[in-house]
A and B are shown apart, each in its own frame.
Chain A
Amino acid sequence: MPRLMPRLLTKTHVAAVASSFALVFALLCPVIGSADSKIRIMTATTDLASLAQEIGGDKVDVESIARGYQDPHFVDPKPSFLLKLSKAELLIVVGLELEIGWLPPLITQSSNPRIQVGAPGYLDASRFAKILEIPTGQVTRAEGDVHPLGNPHYWLDPDNGLRIAKGIQTKLSEMRPNDSAYFAQRYDSFEQRLKQSDQQWQAQMKPYAGRKVVTYHRSWPNFAEHFGLNVVGYVEPRPGIPPSPQHTVELIGQMKRDGVKIIMVEPYFDLKTPNSIARETGGQVVVLMPSVGGEKEITDYFKLFDYDIAKLKKAFDETH
């Protein structure tokens, strides 16, 4: 009996191998989209989705992995994203290691050759943008969770928005040469509207040029540079490190000395420390949205700046 049974089992065992492989192969009925349908685009963040939508118009289907009110450093690589990624023709990422904690396994597991790093369907938007805070010299984590390739929050400068849009236009035209005139026309219209809006934003911010502000995380260097704000300190002692009492005391002292009244906070950070700093300094906490979709009314790239500038303007007026 002991001899017979394992022999039988060995046969079933081979059958098990065969059938499990057969099961997988039997279900190989991939739905490959036709070339004429809309380009399926996945983006890492909502801002890139908004820009892609501006250029792609009704020739594209765009979806973002992260939500606008979510910390883009910490996104769960859920399998539900895998399904969408597996069908995507184009993946647009922020790059500069912003998504290093969650995007690489999603890309690998998507088993979609089109969007693998370096493939034609992988577009790193940071290639087109002006990048700030590129560290020089030695980079260590004694400085916190620094981004060795530069600050990845670069989309908060309308000029960069334009540059990224141009990059997307080029990519979409490569993918659908027949529609390149359409994408070019969409870009021209976007450029015109953005430049117009930017003039208004600049005019609104002009009275506050050179104002000193404090931000929670280093999310705003491009925004500050574009709109002439002067970021003089951060609630985080180092990037990615939660506020410490000692640093908070130092920051309060500095804000009092320099007369800083505005603390800009991203929607995903705890307001306890910023609020107590505001109480001590007679300042104001302004929750600004770093991304499209941070609030319901911020439905596109234009409304993002509309929202943030209106909020900042109000805060500047109230604290002066």
Chain B
Amino acid sequence: MKRFAVLPALLLFFSMAHAQDAPSVSAKRDVSPANTEDARMKALEEQLRTLAGEVALLRSELKELRQSKSPEQSSGPQVLLASAHPQPGMLPSSPAPATAQTTQTQTFGGASGNAKLLNPDISLIGDFIGTVGHNNVSPGPSLELHESEIGLQAIIDPYSRADAFLSFGETGVNVEEAYITFTSLPAGLLLKVGKKRADFGKVNTIHNHALPFIDRPLVTYNLVGGEDGIDDAGFFLSRFLPAPKNWFLEGSAELLRGDSDDLFHASRRRDVSVVGHLRAYRDLSESTNLDLGVSYARGHNSLGSNFLTNLYGGDATIRWRPLRRAIYNSFIFRTELFWSARDQFSPTAPTLFQTQHAFGLYSYAEYRVNRRWTVGGRFDRSGHATDAHLTDSGFSGILTYWPSEFSQIRGQYRFGHLATAPSDFSNANEFLFQFLFVMGAHGAHPF
């Protein structure tokens, strides 16, 4: 609509401009009445000619615009019918930028050309968590803005893209991930360089806001170093591997600095850590698939360069999502197993070197009941990395409501049977609730 307002606006502008020019032109002329008459006639004729040319030009442009942009006309009224509640911004605005459009020759295509320019996709995800109930072992605050994650994502050049996620938490800012991905390497290699969550199993790769629960499984805290898990700076190389028919195999090899939460600690430059992951995937049917993985990580722990931690993992996921009802129903079941072998001094005899072997797992299932609700449950069991005799266990029930794709309200009942000494347990009964909101364009997460 606004483009049609250009014509009268421009006409008005030109006529005003000429109206202002005209007196100044005539003022410079001689005062002879006959001369003035002639000159005025000529000037007027000249003006008329220019204006006629102007009108012809505008007409042809208008015709062009009408041909290319008539859909906007017809869709305009539809947008504002009962189904849509008009916002001030939805109404056609003043035709200010339209002059630039008149030179546009492209008649088809969306607005993609000028909508985003070179800005990266920017998003912010707010994660607000509240907790009630009692937990004597690892009590969380009653209310907290757990983190605000800012995502900046863009294609860097024809050969790479970059993704950065900065999380602002209660204790400060953390670069959760920031890495460049080289997408055009030969031989099917995919290389990421920067800081990233390592491909160790499944839950380690998932950002807080994308988890199917509010907290992380006990085993993440007990064996993988804490909330951030293996999240470190380094090289992340992966490639698809030749596989039997209908299977998908992917191998990853990652070389990291060796500083990851409480898990790995690099006292010197040589204390790098490595992570390896092998993933096998298969579609069982159009709607069901099986996803298996084994992982290995090795690094030096906080006791010093002479003390290593080896971590082994296995994961299995079954997903069901019928294509015709994908937005209404789906089901996922996942189990992850972790084995930790940590070099340390014996907890009982502090001068004795030993390797502490601890095991942990979690299993969870989630079902989407309809477009807005999902229900889920999780079982946890995990030894402590430093003392395998201490074993925590617990379970959770989770209910999630999605007002839209961009916000989420979740409640989680969590029971924990937490070990404080080899045969001494403390029970934790808690109810957690969470409000998540997404603003801006947050890139899709890998499957």
Residue of B whose beta carbon sits closest to that of A138: B89
Query: B240–A86 contact, CB under 8 A?
Result: yes
Q: How far is the CA of A241 from the CA of B83 in the complex (A)?
A: 12
B-side contacts of A129, CB under 8 Å? 108-109
Residue of B whose beta carbon sits closest to that of A83: B248
B-side contacts of A83, CB under 8 Å? 240, 248
Report the minimum CB–CB distance from A51 to chain B (whole Å). Answer: 15
Query: A79–B250 contact, CB under 8 A?
Result: yes
Query: A78–B281 contact, CB under 8 A?
Result: yes
B-side contacts of A9, CB under 8 Å? 308
Within 193-247 of A, Cβ neighbours of B (below 8 Å) are at: 221, 225, 231-234, 236-238, 240-242, 247
A-side contacts of B305, CB under 8 Å? 6
Which of B253, B281, B298, B353 has the most chain A CB within a 10 Å cutoff?
A: B253
Chain A interface size range = 35 or more
Report the minimum CB–CB distance from B68 to chain A (whole Å). Answer: 8
Binds A, one of B43-51, B72-80, B137-145: B72-80
Tell me if B172 counts as interface (CB < 8 A to partner A).
no
Query: A96–B110 contact, CB under 8 A?
Result: yes
Report the minimum CB–CB distance from A155 to chain B (whole Å). Answer: 13
Q: How far is the CA of A21 from the CA of B253 in the complex (A)?
A: 6
Query: B189–A105 contact, CB under 8 A?
Result: no
Query: B323–A69 contact, CB under 8 A?
Result: yes
Residue of B whose beta carbon sits closest to that of A231: B78
Tell me if B326 counts as interface (CB < 8 A to partner A).
yes
A-side contacts of B124, CB under 8 Å? none
Query: B110–A131 contact, CB under 8 A?
Result: yes
Q: Assuming the A-B contacts A1-B353, A118-B158, are A6 and B115 also in contact, with contact meaning beta carbons closer than 8 angstroms in the complex?
A: no
- Tally the A-B contacts, defined by beta carbons under 8 Å: 239
B-side contacts of A74, CB under 8 Å? 326-327
A-side contacts of B91, CB under 8 Å? 137
Query: B188–A127 contact, CB under 8 A?
Result: no
Residue of A whose beta carbon sits closest to that of B160: A116
Q: How far is the CA of A118 from the CA of B272 in the complex (A)?
A: 37
Tell me if B244 counts as interface (CB < 8 A to partner A).
no
Tell me if A141 counts as interface (CB < 8 A to partner B).
yes
Tell me if B255 counts as interface (CB < 8 A to partner A).
yes
B-side contacts of A78, CB under 8 Å? 281, 283, 289, 447
Select which of A1, A2, A113, A247 is within 8 A of B83 by beta carbon.
Answer: A247
Report the minimum CB–CB distance from A119 to chain B (whole Å). Answer: 7
A-side contacts of B240, CB under 8 Å? 82-83, 86, 111
B-side contacts of A247, CB under 8 Å? 83
Report the minimum CB–CB distance from A193 to chain B (whole Å). Answer: 22
Q: Assuming the A-B contacts A95-B112, A149-B112, are A111 and B189 also in contact, with contact meaning beta carbons closer than 8 angstroms in the complex?
A: yes
Query: A24–B239 contact, CB under 8 A?
Result: yes
Interface 1/0 per residue, A1-19 and B, CB below 8 Å: 1110111011001001100
Within 266-301 of B, Cβ neighbours of A (below 8 Å) are at: 270, 272, 274, 276, 279, 281-283, 286, 289, 291, 298
- A-B pairs, top 3 by smallest CB distance, nearest first, are A138-B89, A113-B184, A6-B306
- 18 further A-B pairs in the complex, CB-CB below 8 A; given A24-B189, A100-B441, A140-B87: A3-B306, A16-B298, A17-B272, A78-B447, A82-B248, A104-B443, A108-B183, A111-B185, A111-B238, A111-B240, A126-B112, A130-B71, A132-B75, A136-B2, A137-B92, A141-B404, A221-B75, A270-B371
Could you give 6 example pairs across A and B, Cβ below 8 Å? A1-B353, A23-B253, A27-B241, A82-B240, A136-B72, A268-B326
